[in-house]
Every structure is written in C-alpha cells, then in structure tokens.
C-alpha cells in the first residue's frame, strides 16, 4: 500500500472534526453579493428573482455528484434552491454519514502509520488556505485569493437560483470535483430545459506550480514575476457561464472572470492580476436588447473608470472574432486581461470585477424574460443552429481559454466544453436572403456597432 500523504491524513482528521462541530458563520463585514448592482439607489429586482441565498460559509468544497434524475436526499422547500447549493449556516449535514466516512479515513491513517514510515511534509499553501477558511472564515483582511474564491462561489449560487426561477421544472445538475494538488471546482449545468438548451455556471480553483518557461512567457505582461527561479507557486480562481437558450429570438450569453496570483513558499502574494469579460451572441438581433446589455455593462465600468468601457469593448470586439469567417462571434460586450498594479491597486480592481460580475444578471435576465416565449418558425430554429456552429468554431479554433484548458494536464474536460451548445449545424454554402433578419445580423457581425 502506498503511504498516505500527510495532507490526506489532515483531510481525514478534518473531516471527522467537521462532523462534530458547526462551521463558523461569516461576519457581517463580508457580504460578497449586495444585490444586482444596478447603479444608483437600490431598485426592486427587474427580473423578479427570488431572494438570494446566503453564500456557502467558508467556501468548503461540496463533495459528491448530484444527478437530477436520481432522487434528492430530502425534498427542498420553496423557494426551489438546488439542495447542494442551499445555504449552510451552522447546521451539520448528515452527521452519521460523515462520521462513518471519517472513521474509515482515520482507519486508513492508523493502518498506514503501522505499515509505512511517517513522512513529514510541510503543509502546502492549498492545505493552509483550507485550514484558514475553516478556522477563521473569510473577511476583509483575508488574502485576495480567498476573497475572490468566496465571492465567485456565492455569485455562482445566486445565478443558478435566478436561472432556475425561469423554468422551475428544470434543475441544474451540480458536480463538485477536487484537484490532486489542491483546489477544485463546482460545475452547474442544465440541459434540454424549456428555456435553455444548455446552461452552465462553473467555478474553479487551481493551486499549482509554474515551470520556468511559463514564467518567462508571463513576464511579458507582469514584470513583478521573478525570472531567476526554477518554478513559482500559483493560484487561479475563475467563474464562467454560458447560456444557450431554446428560443432563437433569445441571445446566447457568456461571461468569464478570473483572478491569478503567484506566491512565495509561505503563501504571500507576489504578482497578481485580474482578467475577464462578457459578450452577447444573438441569432436574431433586437437593437433594444443589444443597447440594454451594453448599457448595463457600461454603467458598471463607468463607476470605476470612464475609459474602461470603450477600451474593453474594443478589446472584446478584437478577441471574439472568427478570422476564417471574417465575422465576430456576436455583438460583443467587454474583455480585458492582465489588469495588475500598473492599472490600479488590487482593491480597486477587485471592486471593479465584482461590479462587472454583479451586473451580469441585470444585463441578461430582462432579455431572456422578453424573448423566451416568443413564437418562432422551424427556419428560424435552423438559423440559430447554424449560428451555434459558428460558436463552436470560435470556441474550438480560436478561444485561447478553451485551448489553454484542453492542453492543461488533468483538466476537467467536461467543464471546459460545457460552453459548447447542445446542438449545432453546418450547411455548406448557406446564404442569407437579401434584406432578411439573418442578413442584418451578418452585416453587424462584419462591422462592430457602438451600442451606447
């Protein structure tokens, strides 16, 4: 039997400990999601979402997989919130089950102590972070990586709950997974629903080691990186979302925001940066929808810097472009990357990214609510399928994020490719009719429009 590593021993002990004690709730100073960030005074939520759930305390990763087809452990009361995402505030879930697992784990540990010499290893940064989250929770003095992780996990819950209100008959499937070196992710996917053909909201946390060539590459944009070391510890936290609606009048939407940092052996942050963006991909263009989407994002940007929206809109138009088709994937939004201390200080940029993220639901929910029940023809559905084909082309051929993901050893491919639509179509030499709505869209995709 291979020796059980100290980290596994720690996990086993921690597991058992958790089974007997309550988790520490978050202090009031930490409220990651404070409404939907529509600028100005607080307004009633425009899309009538249910009250938002409290965030998962301490961001303990959820264990196990729930398939919506299989019976859930306990029927959840109204409002319908995915059981795995239900707020966990001071209650112990299934204590007997957890005790049994803990006993099993501890049994293995004891066995390994008798059969293998004890190998003492320093706890990794991931292990120390896990401990810190459990012991002290997250507050304003916590390292940025823990605050970003906590924020995106809470927002993921909120978005899943809001999307489930659109079609209460359909629930998200939730898969949680862990990475061998620390970190993991939560993938929430709904497919074949009445409103969404496919909808995915993912978070992922990665602890890893950057080898020398990767450091050299990153130094182009981040001079704070030390070029004279063989490797550097890094951390990445990201949230991404892609929604492909059933109705061809309703647009596909995507967002993805991430935080990246490198650390010394003690876990102190060295270099860091934020990246992300959001964009809208309609099959049929409604100018009012495009204007609403862009205006909502612009308002979130303007709160921080009047240059951000025009600058990041241009960046988005450039990024979400399909060169071999000579057209954009959609009608844009914003995109940015490598925003570090040369741009603004860390707190200001975190605040900016939080506002972008919080603007997502107000930017999209009114559109899907207006379009999801519109009548459509078979020909319009076919056109949507062709546009889905172009979405696949962009994601598989040109998207650097997808390419990076697929080339990362041990990556969870199902989570990366959840961005692909449920269905897509390629018709050889398809032509849009003259003066049609299809042609109008193609013209806009060839020449980006200033919507606000």
Distances in whole angstroms, Cα of residue 367 to Cα of each of 251, 309, 370, 372, 421 = 8, 21, 5, 8, 19
Please state, in angstroms and rounded to a whole number, the distance separating the CA atoms of residues 121 and 443.
61
- Residue 392 within binding range of a copy of itself, rule CB under 8 A: yes
User: How many residues belong to the site for a copy of itself (CB under 8 A)?
Assistant: 32
**330 Cβ neighbours under 8 A, 6+ residues apart:** 251, 252, 279, 280, 281, 282, 320, 445
- Residue 200 within binding range of a copy of itself, rule CB under 8 A: yes
Q: Write the burial class of residue 161 (CB in 10 Å: 0-12 exposed, 13-18 middle, 19+ buried).
A: buried
| Piece of the chain touching a copy of itself by CB under 8 A; list 135-143, 162-170, 258-266, 420-428 | 420-428
- Residue 413 within binding range of a copy of itself, rule CB under 8 A: yes
Question: Measured from the CB of residue 240, what is the shortest distance to a copy of itself in angstroms?
Answer: 14
Question: Measured from the CB of residue 96, what is the shortest distance to a copy of itself in angstroms?
Answer: 29
Please state, in angstroms and rounded to a whole number, the distance separating the CA atoms of residues 257 and 269.
19
Name the residue nearer to a copy of itself (CB basis): 57 or 188.
188
Please state, in angstroms and rounded to a whole number, the distance separating the CA atoms of residues 57 and 23.
7
Please state, in angstroms and rounded to a whole number, the distance separating the CA atoms of residues 33 and 240.
17
> Pick from 56, 195, 357, 420: which binds a copy of itself (CB under 8 A)?
420
- Residue 175 within binding range of a copy of itself, rule CB under 8 A: yes
| Piece of the chain touching a copy of itself by CB under 8 A; list 5-13, 119-127, 337-345, 393-401 | 393-401
Name the residue nearer to a copy of itself (CB basis): 292 or 388.
388
For residues 106 and 19, the answer to whether their CB atoms sit within 8 Å is no
| Piece of the chain touching a copy of itself by CB under 8 A; list 23-31, 310-318, 321-329, 435-443 | 321-329
Token pair, residue 91, equals 């209650």
Distances in whole angstroms, Cα of residue 21 to Cα of each of 7, 92, 95, 135 = 21, 7, 10, 12
- Residue 417 within binding range of a copy of itself, rule CB under 8 A: yes
Residue with token string 């060839």: 446
Name the residue nearer to a copy of itself (CB basis): 156 or 296.
156
Please state, in angstroms and rounded to a whole number, the distance separating the CA atoms of residues 289 and 286.
5
Task: Report DSSP letters for 55-116, one per residue.
Answer: PPGGGPPP-SEE-TTSPPSSPPPSS---GGGS--SS--SSHHHHHHHHHHHHHHHHHHHHHS
Distances in whole angstroms, Cα of residue 388 to Cα of each of 359, 369, 375, 402 = 25, 21, 19, 16
- Residue 325 within binding range of a copy of itself, rule CB under 8 A: yes
- Residue 99 within binding range of a copy of itself, rule CB under 8 A: no
Name the residue nearer to a copy of itself (CB basis): 18 or 382.
382
Please state, in angstroms and rounded to a whole number, the distance separating the CA atoms of residues 108 and 112.
6
- Residue 104 within binding range of a copy of itself, rule CB under 8 A: no
Name the residue nearer to a copy of itself (CB basis): 111 or 426.
426
- Residue 101 within binding range of a copy of itself, rule CB under 8 A: no
Residue with token string 């199902």: 414
| Piece of the chain touching a copy of itself by CB under 8 A; list 215-223, 288-296, 308-316, 322-330 | 322-330
Question: Measured from the CB of residue 325, what is the shortest distance to a copy of itself in angstroms?
Answer: 7
- Bridge-based pairing state of the strands 196-211 and 183-191: antiparallel
- Residue 387 within binding range of a copy of itself, rule CB under 8 A: no
Name the residue nearer to a copy of itself (CB basis): 110 or 397.
397
**Please, which residues bridge with residue 242 across strands?**
200, 254
- Residue 189 within binding range of a copy of itself, rule CB under 8 A: yes
> Pick from 109, 396, 432, 449: which binds a copy of itself (CB under 8 A)?
396
Catalytic residue among 244, 254, 292, 294: 254
- Residue 24 within binding range of a copy of itself, rule CB under 8 A: no
- Residue 406 within binding range of a copy of itself, rule CB under 8 A: yes
- Residue 156 within binding range of a copy of itself, rule CB under 8 A: no
| Piece of the chain touching a copy of itself by CB under 8 A; list 2-10, 268-276, 341-349, 384-392 | 384-392
| Piece of the chain touching a copy of itself by CB under 8 A; list 12-20, 122-130, 297-305, 319-327 | 319-327
**Please, which residues bridge with residue 336 across strands?**
276
- Residue 385 within binding range of a copy of itself, rule CB under 8 A: yes
Token pair, residue 230, equals 């063989």
Question: Measured from the CB of residue 392, what is the shortest distance to a copy of itself in angstroms?
Answer: 6
The values of phi and psi at residue 403, to 5°, are -60, -45
Q: Is 254 marked active-site? A: yes
> Pick from 422, 432, 442, 449: which binds a copy of itself (CB under 8 A)?
422
Q: Write the burial class of residue 228 (CB in 10 Å: 0-12 exposed, 13-18 middle, 19+ buried).
A: exposed
Which residues would be at the binding site for a copy of itself (CB under 8 A)?
A: 173, 175, 189, 191, 198, 200, 323-325, 385, 389, 392-393, 396-397, 403, 406, 411, 413-414, 417-418, 420-429
Catalytically annotated residues: 254
């Amino acid at each position: 039997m291979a020796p059980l590593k100290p980290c596994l021993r720690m996990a086993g002990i921690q597991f058992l400990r958790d089974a007997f004690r309550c988790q520490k709730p978050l202090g009031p100073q930490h409220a990651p999601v404070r409404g939907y960030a529509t600028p100005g005074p607080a307004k009633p939520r425009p899309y009538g979402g249910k009250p938002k759930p409290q965030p998962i305390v301490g961001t303990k990763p959820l264990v196990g997989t729930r398939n919506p087809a299989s019976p859930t452990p306990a029927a959840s009361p109204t409002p319908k919130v995915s059981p795995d995402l239900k707020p966990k505030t001071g209650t112990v879930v299934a204590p007997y089950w957890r005790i049994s697992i803990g006993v099993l784990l501890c049994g293995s540990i004891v066995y390994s102590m008798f059969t293998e010499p004890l190998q003492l290893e320093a706890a990794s940064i991931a292990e120390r972070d896990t401990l810190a989250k459990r012991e002290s929770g997250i507050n304003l003095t916590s390292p940025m990586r823990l605050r970003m992780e906590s924020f995106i996990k809470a927002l993921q819950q909120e978005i899943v709950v809001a999307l489930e209100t659109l079609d209460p008959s359909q629930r998200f499937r939730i898969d949680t997974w862990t990475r061998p070196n620390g970190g993991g992710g939560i993938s929430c996917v709904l497919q074949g629903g009445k409103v969404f053909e496919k909808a995915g909201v993912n978070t992922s946390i990665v602890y890893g080691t950057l080898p020398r060539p990767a450091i050299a590459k990153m130094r182009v944009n981040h001079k704070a990186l030390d070029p004279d070391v063989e490797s550097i510890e890094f951390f990445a936290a990201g949230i991404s979302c892609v929604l492909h609606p059933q109705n061809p009048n309703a647009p596909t939407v995507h967002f993805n925001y991430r935080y990246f940092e490198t650390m010394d052996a003690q876990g102190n942050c060295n270099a860091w940066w934020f990246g992300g963006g959001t964009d809208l991909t309609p099959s049929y263009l409604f100018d009012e929808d495009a204007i609403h989407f862009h205006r909502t994002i612009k308002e979130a940007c303007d709160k921080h810097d009047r240059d951000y929206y025009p600058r990041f809109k241009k960046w988005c138009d450039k990024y979400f472009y399909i060169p071999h088709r000579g057209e954009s994937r959609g009608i844009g939004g914003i995109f940015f990357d490598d925003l570090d201390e040369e741009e603004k200080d860390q707190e200001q940029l975190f605040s900016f990214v939080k506002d972008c993220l919080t603007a997502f639901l107000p930017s999209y929910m009114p559109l899907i609510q207006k379009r999801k029940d519109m009548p459509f023809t078979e020909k319009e559905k076919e056109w949507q399928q062709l546009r889905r084909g172009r979405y696949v082309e962009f994601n598989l051929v040109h998207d650097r994020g997808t390419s990076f993901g697929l080339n990362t050893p041990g990556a969870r491919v199902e989570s990366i490719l959840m961005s692909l639509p449920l269905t897509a179509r390629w018709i050889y030499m398809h032509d849009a009719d003259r003066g049609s709505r299809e042609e109008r869209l193609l013209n806009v995709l060839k020449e980006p429009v200033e919507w606000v």
